[in-house]
């Protein structure tokens, strides 16, 4: 049975080659058997018994070769067939007309077949054998040692020649068919490789989710566009577009809805720009728009405004209506940079300024943004080491009872003295600490330092002072603030009533249930609770009842205009009356003159702090102030130790 090729896709290339060689060898073996059989009949008719004997031996050996082929022993089978044909042809030449014998035609057949089936060294051995045989017969003839009988052509000789040519032609046709099929497979494979290459190139240069060009292709398109801009003397802009509330959509409805939303957003962006502009996806919910050949910044602003308006319309995703907007940052060539990466970085920075401006906004890059970014990076690096290098300290601003003028405590304000830049404003580095998460570690340090200082004041005879620590929302989100406070109180042996924790009013709306649980645990420790900057955020009686706070700190924006503004007086009066009805104390911040202090007393405010009484003082100066100033008897709740600016 002939070996058949396999179509199993799991077959290895070696298996395919073996199958192909087996098929060739089987086909050629059958062809040779037919040729030898025909030659045997001719020899029998001519009664050429010697040739008939050669043919019979060859038939047996070729049959053995086919048997080896069936057993998948391809190389031995091929060598047996080729050497059989070569030797039989040589014997036929020796016993007949030498190199003029028609048997010589067998040699080329053997070489052609051998080139397809055996290794190069084995084919070379056959060629050397044939050359030696032909050379030997020629030498014997030339030296007269042997004379070959040259007989005129006969029909018998013609029959032998035609048989050999027929077998040779059949072998060539079989091999040519294999070659054509191999070439067809090669062409198919080349086409498949080309298609795969095109697909890989497309995938490498396009976003799989939206089909938009990706950043890699965008950089190539930018290089082309910037060359055109240089030649034509035109401007080029890069817009960095960030979807404002994609995370909440993704978290609320799942990633599948989020992916569909991104596809719709990509389509809107494509529809909102010119055909010459290119939209590509930066990653996540961020997109870049390349605007070549623009006249001026006003044209870019108009294009960005058009994009902003288009992205604000509600989306319908699988019958779910969602609302979104976007923030856009713009950087331009040649004003900001000459390379793609720098332009994208600056557009990204401008986009973050648009986010900080309240989102759904457009901002153009300017160098002040870059300076702020560099300074933020430097300050962020320095802030991470500030605790280790003892660069942070607490300053204390006294708080007094407005009715008696006695000292109740102090607000401890965090200060940072940078070794190179000097004193860094709290408003500058506190925001950095919150963005980086360092506020948690810094807040723990403030809590510990406040408790340590309370212990030191008690030991020095300055007892009955209370510090209140303004705790960041991020510290509450970590869920360990109550443990940190409890450990600090135990470590320094502090009366919990001497410590008061402040949270900003706006923080109360975030994860209210978690705040309720955490504040309840803190309250159980015995520490005081107050709301800072009251009146500027989400004033809500239900929050005050749920959180069980002890004090409201009236924001200084109302206090500073109190004597000149009747609306501010009305607001402060309402806050004080509400606090008294809820049995809460009130503290006025930012008192700078006697008229304001008197008016606060008249309105019923309990406590006050501000430049009228004292600026924030270093530790030694505050202790001098405390010793020289009358203090309230007993422990009262007052003051504030805060990692946030005054």
Same domain for 405 and 539, yes or no, is yes
Same domain for 337 and 238, yes or no, is yes
pLDDT digits (tens, 9 = 90+) for 274-314: 988 999 998 889 999 999 988 888 888 889 999 988 898 88
pLDDT value at residue 599: 93
Nearest C-alpha neighbor of 643 from the set 466, 456, 473: 473
Same domain for 227 and 87, yes or no, is no
Same domain for 115 and 165, yes or no, is yes
pLDDT digits (tens, 9 = 90+) for 455-494: 999 898 887 888 988 888 888 877 788 999 999 999 999 9
Q: Is the pLDDT of residue 106 over 90?
A: no
Q: For 187-243, list the strands marked E by DSSP.
A: 235-243
Bridge partners of 364? 330
What are the φ and ψ backbone dihedral angles of 562, each rounded to 5 degrees?
A: -60, -45
Same domain for 177 and 245, yes or no, is no
Bridge partners of 586? 552
What letter would DSSP give residue 206?
A: B
Same domain for 111 and 257, yes or no, is no
pLDDT value at residue 642: 44
What's the mean pLDDT in 406-412? 90
- Asked if residue 1 is part of any domain, the answer here is no
Q: Is the pLDDT of residue 505 over 80?
A: no
Give the total number of structural domains in the chain.
3
- Asked if residue 166 is part of any domain, the answer here is yes
Same domain for 148 and 270, yes or no, is no
**Among all chains, which residue has been given the structure tokens 């100066």?**
621
Q: How far apart are CA 383 and CA 191, in angstroms?
A: 59
**Among all chains, which residue has been given the structure tokens 């406040």?**
450
Domain termination residue (choose one: 333, 365, 397): 365
How much is the pTM? Answer: 0.56
- Asked if residue 286 is part of any domain, the answer here is yes
Same domain for 154 and 284, yes or no, is no
- Asked if residue 34 is part of any domain, the answer here is yes
Contact between 572 and 377 under an 8 Å Cβ cutoff? The reply is no
- Residues in contact with 497: Cβ distance below 8 Å, sequence separation at least 6, in sequence order: 466, 526, 527, 528, 635, 637
Task: Please state at what angle helix 340-356 crosses helix 367-386, rounded to 10 degrees.
Answer: 80
CB atoms under 10 Å from CB of 373, counted, come to: 16
Contact between 403 and 605 under an 8 Å Cβ cutoff? The reply is no
Q: Read off the CATH number of the domain in which 266 is found.
A: 3.30.70.270
Q: How far apart are CA 88 and CA 37, in angstroms?
A: 14
Same domain for 338 and 391, yes or no, is no
Same domain for 319 and 399, yes or no, is no
Same domain for 510 and 425, yes or no, is yes
pLDDT digits (tens, 9 = 90+) for 593-610: 999 999 999 999 999 999
Domain termination residue (choose one: 332, 365, 398): 365
Same domain for 546 and 519, yes or no, is yes
Mean pLDDT of the chain: 82
Q: Which domain holds residue 283?
A: 215-365
- Asked if residue 102 is part of any domain, the answer here is yes
């Amino acid at each position: 049975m002939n070996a058949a090729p396999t179509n199993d896709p799991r077959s290895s290339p070696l298996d395919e080659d073996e199958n192909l060689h087996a098929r060739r060898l089987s086909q050629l073996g059958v062809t040779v058997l037919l040729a030898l059989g025909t030659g045997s009949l001719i020899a029998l008719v001519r009664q050429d018994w010697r040739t008939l004997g050669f043919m019979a031996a060859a038939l047996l050996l070729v049959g053995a070769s086919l048997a080896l082929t069936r057993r998948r022993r391809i190389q031995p089978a091929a060598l047996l067939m080729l050497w059989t044909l070569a030797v039989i042809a040589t014997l036929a030449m020796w016993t007949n007309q030498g190199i003029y014998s028609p048997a010589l035609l067998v040699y080329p057949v053997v070489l052609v077949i051998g080139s397809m089936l055996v290794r190069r060294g084995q084919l070379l051995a056959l060629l050397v054998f044939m050359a030696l045989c032909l050379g030997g017969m020629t030498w014997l003839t030339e030296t007269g040692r042997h004379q070959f009988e040259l007989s005129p052509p006969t029909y018998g000789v013609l029959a032998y020649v035609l048989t050999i040519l027929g077998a040779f032609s059949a072998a060539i046709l079989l091999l040519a068919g294999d070659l054509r099929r191999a070439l067809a497979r090669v062409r198919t494979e080349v086409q498949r490789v080309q298609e795969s290459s095109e697909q890989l190139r497309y995938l490498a240069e396009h976003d799989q989710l939206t089909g938009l060009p990706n950043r890699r292709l965008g950089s190539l398109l930018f290089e082309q566009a910037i060359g055109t801009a240089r030649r034509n003397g035109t401007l080029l802009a890069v817009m960095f577009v960030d979807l404002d509330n994609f995370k909440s959509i993704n978290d609320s409805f799942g990633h599948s809805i989020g992916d569909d939303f991104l596809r719709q957003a990509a389509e809107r962006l494509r529809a909102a720009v010119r055909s010459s502009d290119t939209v590509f996806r930066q990653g996540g919910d961020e997109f870049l728009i390349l605007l070549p050949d623009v006249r001026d910044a006003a044209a870019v602003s108009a294009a960005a405004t058009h994009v902003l308006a288009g992205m604000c319309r509600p989306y319908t995703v699988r019958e779910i209506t969602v609302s979104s907007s976007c923030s856009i940052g713009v950087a331009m060539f040649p004003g900001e940079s000459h390379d793609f990466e720098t332009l994208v970085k600056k557009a990204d920075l401008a986009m973050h300024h648009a986010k900080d401006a309240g989102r759904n906004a457009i901002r153009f890059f300017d160098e002040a943004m870059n300076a702020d970014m560099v300074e933020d990076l430097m300050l962020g690096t320095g802030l991470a080491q500030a605790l280790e290098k003892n660069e942070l300290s607490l300053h204390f601003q006294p708080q007094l009872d407005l009715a008696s003028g006695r000292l109740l405590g102090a607000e401890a304000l965090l200060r940072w003295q940078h070794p190179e830049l000097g004193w860094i404003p709290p408003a500058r580095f506190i925001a950095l600490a919150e963005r980086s998460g360092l506020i948690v570690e810094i807040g723990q340090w403030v809590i510990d330092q406040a408790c340590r200082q309370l212990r030191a004041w008690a030991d020095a005879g300055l007892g009955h002072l209370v510090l209140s620590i303004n705790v960041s929302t991020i510290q509450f989100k970590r869920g360990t603030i109550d443990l940190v406070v409890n450990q600090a109180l135990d470590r320094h042996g502090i009366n919990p009533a001497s410590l008061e924790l402040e949270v900003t009013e706006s923080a109360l709306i975030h994860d209210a249930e978690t705040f309720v649980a955490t504040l309840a645990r803190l309250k159980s420790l015995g520490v005081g609770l107050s709301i800072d900057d009251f009146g500027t955020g989400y004033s809500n009686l239900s929050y005050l009842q749920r959180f069980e706070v002890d004090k409201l700190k009236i924001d200084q924006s109302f206090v500073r205009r109190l004597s000149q503004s009747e609306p501010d007086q009305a607001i402060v009066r309402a806050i004080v009356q509400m606090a008294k009805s809820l049995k809460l104390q009130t503290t006025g911040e930012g008192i700078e003159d006697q008229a304001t202090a008197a008016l606060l007393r008249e309105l019923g405010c309990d406590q006050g702090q501000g430049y009228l009484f004292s600026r924030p003082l270093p530790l030694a100066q505050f202790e001098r102030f405390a010793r020289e100033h009358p203090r309230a008897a007993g422990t009262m709740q007052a003051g504030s130790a805060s990692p946030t600016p005054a």
